[in-house]
A and B are shown apart, each in its own frame.
Chain A
Amino acid sequence: MSQQIAIFGSGELGQTLAQSLQDIGKKLTLFDHHADKVASAQAKGFDAQYLDFKNDELLKKAGVGDSLELLFALFEDDSENVFLCLSSRALAPELRIMAVSHQPDATHRLKAAGADKVIDPHHLSARRIYQIMTRPLVAEVLEHTIFGQQDLELVEIAISKDLSSKISSIGELQLKDFNVVLVGYLGQSEIIEPELGYLSPDHPIKAGDVLLVVGKNEAIEKVKKFMDIFD
């Protein structure tokens, strides 16, 4: 069953995110307690509903604590986002919550209220601009991979238990044949930094670990399929 995603805040920010998620095939619902924002989202074709976030019963009905796996708190008011994160975290300890913060001090409060990830759009935009200014080539290349609309992507591929029983090191995957570049490895068991850069073919593989791969869409799909049916 595909993830259930809820976006609270159906103004321009929420709609931009909703579009972005739909582009990768995710199903989602927008919620807001301002009728005009709900209407505007509906007018653009999104699945948007009116919901008062202060009411726990309504939150539960929306799937918090139940089928919902991912929640975005994108209200324009930091205090509303804090309230929402707190309510949701109380109802659903396992829920992944991402919140937006508009004032620098709100970040701590959102984390304390239970958000897994807090993003400050202004701070991040500033970093992006700084990168464009100081490392323009890198910024450009990133634009065409991670941020880009082109078909080059940076993707995580998990090692299944099945696969890990068949091979013991990276080299055996022969990724070179697929025209993808292996750029990093994330070990699930360690809480240490992920490894980026060159990985030797003898690097051991464990179930649950994640490979970071860059390549064209089709190539990555092929790799995934290959790893599924590895024999």
Chain B
Amino acid sequence: MGESMQSPFLSWSIWASESLFYQSIKSFFRDMLSNNNSRKRIVFDSSMMTLVLCSVIIMILDIQYQLGNWVYYFEWATITIFTLEYLLRLWTSGDFHSLGIASYETAQLSRTPVQWRNVLKVWLKQKWQFIKTPLAIIDLLAIIPLYRPLRMFRLFLLFRLFKVFRYSRTLRSFGSIFSEKKFELRLIFLVLIVVITISGVGLYIFEGHLAESKINSLFDAFYWALITISTVGYGDITPVTIEGQVITMILILCGVGLIAFFTSTLVTAFNNQRNNIQHDRLLSDVEKKSQYILVCGYGRIGESLVHQFKERKKELIVVDRDPIKIARARASGVLAIESDASDLTLLNNMAVAKKARTVLCLTNNDVINLYITLSIRQLNPEAEILVRLNDKQNHQKMMIAGASRVISPYHVVATIGREFAGQPVAFEVIRSIANGNEVSGIETIPVSQNSALDGITIEQLALAEAGLVLLGVLQREADDSSQHYIVGNARFRFNPGIDFQLTSGDTLVVIGNYQRAQHFVLNYC
């Protein structure tokens, strides 16, 4: 290969990494096949699972009832789809082009020619890694066509059912229990094989030739050994010689030990995985939500807040590090995840960037609150982040970190204390307005376009009849009069005169009770 001619591998790698078309197709399929958070995956998984179940049911019915020729076409269609899926998974399991580019760049730096053979080797190894995963093996076995005459091949039908493990997150986490304890399970399996072989062979030697024994082949002996060691003991084959009985006794003792070991291994693994499984299940609950309110920290404020939500609790997700608090949260009926709220992996899994509408940082530690605020603001520039402020000196820092507003419990106390001191008689009333009782207080009435309120003056507003008092108007765009205050993104015009004209987009702020405000809205808008 001359210097002047570019290797086809290189050309391909360059083209593939730069082509938007190639990249977008590949990532589309990757998203659909392997991305836990993608909507496409959920759709794909459900459809595939339906297909699997249908094809198995049809096969089973066909065995019994001979449904007709269409079954044959259906089967071929299914196999084609599964084959396509397998090929797509194979394709998306690694990239030649990224390996190629990386090798090329390294080669440039070290001024050596690129050894494409090595790149190919690595690439093939990637593919092999995929092929030897158990799920991939199942996929492969599931597409071997069923030849009616060969009954054994019907076994492969079962592999179709195993494919379900791929499509269900719950089953996958169940499967991961086994992969975690791979070493122990392999050990047990090995010992089992050895013991069965020895005892099976032993029994065959002693009884295989006897007429009164049910053991006619080595397979029968192995079958018997497994039934015995697993403590099942059908009784269809029993030893008839003393030597046979001795072997049986030893076998049973080994068996009990092995079973115990096996069981305890699984139980430990399951316990270890229980948190992970629960975690995964929680995450899939989170996935189902299109939007949520994130509450970080389930202390007294968090608990009190969740309590206020009542029927709307399902909009909330609570995150806290303390398992006791999480248990309490779940007991009060809200989805709770035990984790560090600043864990980026978790936040990404929860799709905080897209789904978190409002985030509350409520721990009693400003450093932690700040850290969480910053982490979340980085991911989601638009969410409203409300932060508990424990030391008022940190107010500025919280705002810089990205908080939308801070709430300081001490400030709340101080404000109430001030009213208690300054306005003793009105204190309770002011409290009830501030707390937002539904009975009395401040209400807002929006002025929508072309409604009865659009364009009229204050004089024409029949608020008095409705029992309401106008406090002021929140204007979306300010005129340049003097009497306004900045309130959020709007301007609040206090006590406007009777010729003040309303425009759509404004909001009336009135005093009176909720019922009267609703009445007004119904009758006049």
Contact = CB atoms under 8 A, between A and B. Distances in A.
A121 B490 CA distance: 30
Given A132-B386, A180-B495, A182-B469, A117 B413 contact: no
Given A3-B421, A194-B429, A16 B392 contact: yes
Contact of B293 (A98, A131, A133): A133
A129 B470 contact: no
B204 interface: no
A26 B510 CA distance: 32
Contacts, number: 213
A29 to B, nearest CB: 13
Given A13-B413, A146-B433, A197 B301 contact: no
A205 interface: no
B474 A137 contact: yes
A183 to B, nearest CB: 4
A141 B487 contact: yes
A212 interface: yes
A35 interface: no
Q: Which of A5, A100, A121 has the most CB of B within 10 A?
A: A121
B358 A197 contact: no
Contacts of A120: 304
B160 interface: no
Given A137-B507, A197-B516, A152 B417 contact: no
B391 interface: yes
A20 B415 contact: yes
Contacts of A123: 300, 304
Nearest to B444: A137
A24 B422 contact: yes
Contact of B464 (A16, A144, A198, A214): A198
A65 B40 CA distance: 74
B512 interface: yes
A128 interface: yes
A215 B441 CA distance: 16
Given A129-B386, A137-B474, A138-B444, A210 B426 contact: yes
A61 interface: no
A191 to B, nearest CB: 12
A137 B430 CA distance: 17
Contacts of B423: 155-156
A142 B412 contact: no
Nearest to B404: A132
Contact of A126 (B308, B425, B439, B441): B308
A141 B410 contact: no
Contacts of A138: 436, 441-444, 509
Contacts of A184: 426, 429, 511
B435 interface: yes
A129 B469 CA distance: 26
Interface string A179-195: 11111101010000110
Contacts of A24: 418, 421-422
A26 to B, nearest CB: 6
A3 to B, nearest CB: 7
Interface in B256-282: none
A140 B418 contact: no
Interface in A19-48: 19-21, 23-24, 26
Chain A interface, >50% SS class? mixed
Contacts of A72: 417
B233 to A, nearest CB: 60
Interface in B485-525: 485, 487-488, 490, 492, 494-495, 507, 509-513, 516
Contacts of B429: 184, 186, 194, 196, 212
Contacts of B302: 126
A179 B301 contact: no
A123 B439 CA distance: 19
B458 interface: no
A133 B294 CA distance: 12
A137 B509 contact: yes
A117 B424 CA distance: 11
Given A126-B308, A152-B494, A196-B433, A142 B442 contact: yes
**Contact size class for B?**
35 or more
A188 B408 CA distance: 34
Band of interface residues on A = 35 or more
A72 B293 CA distance: 36
A96 interface: yes
Contact of B305 (A129, A143, A180): A129
Interface string B86-128: 0000000000000000000000000000000000000000000
B347 interface: no
B388 interface: yes
B442 A181 contact: no
B207 to A, nearest CB: 76
A144 B486 CA distance: 9
Contacts of A188: 425
Given A138-B444, A181-B469, A183-B511, A124 B422 contact: no
A197 B513 contact: yes
B421 A5 contact: yes
A124 B436 contact: no
Nearest to A5: B421
Contacts of A95: none
B463 interface: yes
A158 interface: yes
Contact of A122 (B301, B435, B440, B466): B301
B411 A16 contact: yes
Contacts of A180: 495
Contacts of B430: 146, 154, 212
Given A126-B304, A198-B464, A214-B471, A21 B421 contact: yes
A70 interface: yes
The 10 closest A-B pairs by CB, nearest first: A197-B512, A126-B304, A156-B426, A122-B300, A20-B414, A126-B305, A121-B409, A183-B511, A17-B414, A16-B410
6 contacts: A20-B417, A124-B409, A126-B307, A137-B487, A144-B492, A214-B494
Interface of A: 3, 5, 12-13, 16-17, 19-21, 23-24, 26, 70, 72, 74, 96, 98, 100, 102, 117, 119-133, 135-138, 140-144, 146-147, 150, 152, 154-156, 158, 179-184, 186, 188, 193-194, 196-200, 210, 212, 214-216
Interface of B: 293, 299-305, 307-309, 358, 360, 384, 386, 388, 391-392, 405, 407-430, 433-436, 439-444, 463-464, 466-472, 474, 485, 487-488, 490, 492, 494-495, 507, 509-513, 516
Given A12-B391, A130-B308, A138-B444, 8 more contacts: A12-B410, A17-B413, A119-B417, A141-B492, A154-B433, A196-B433, A200-B464, A214-B494
